[in-house]
Amino acid sequence: RLIMKILVINGPNLNLLGTREPDIYGSLTYDGLCSDLVEFGKSLDVEISTFQSNIEGELINAIHKAYFDKLDGIIINPGAYTHYSIAIMDALKSITVPTVEVHISNIHQREEFRHISYPAKACVGQICGLGTDGYKMAIRFLSKKI
């Protein structure tokens, strides 16, 4: 009996998990991550759906759709859009769905330009540097908050 619905949105290049810079992002594939999150969600009575795009406008459309579909929460890893997408920040500010930003790497220990997050300004929290476990922490947080 699933009582809550959360959308996990992943931005550019996250479809390459497992092959893209495994020293930073690990060896788990994107499909493996999605499967793990769906199973983890079931253990908390949370229905997890996932969406990934390399296109900024498609990420914004997914944010809008989550609102209109009356989902209970969003977890977003905007990828490189984190550091310059005012449009994604505005989309998140325009809706009332609680959102947590997640990053696999610690963006604050990387290049200076990665220290800035525009979407975080519209999120209830940010988890970074804890690998893919950060997504599970965000699911657990939202399941308790909502």
Per-residue pLDDT of the chain (146 residues; tens, 9 = 90+): 668 999 999 999 999 999 988 887 888 999 999 999 999 999 999 999 999 999 999 999 999 999 999 999 999 999 999 999 999 999 999 999 999 999 998 888 777 777 789 999 999 999 999 999 999 999 999 999 87
Give the separation between CA 61 and CA 72, rounded to whole angstroms. Answer: 17
Cα–Cα distances in angstroms (integers) from residue 71 to residues 1, 103, 140, 141, in the given order? 16, 21, 16, 15
Catalytic residues: 25, 103
Q: What pLDDT shows up at residue 1?
A: 63
Q: What pLDDT shows up at residue 2?
A: 65
> Structure pTM?
0.94
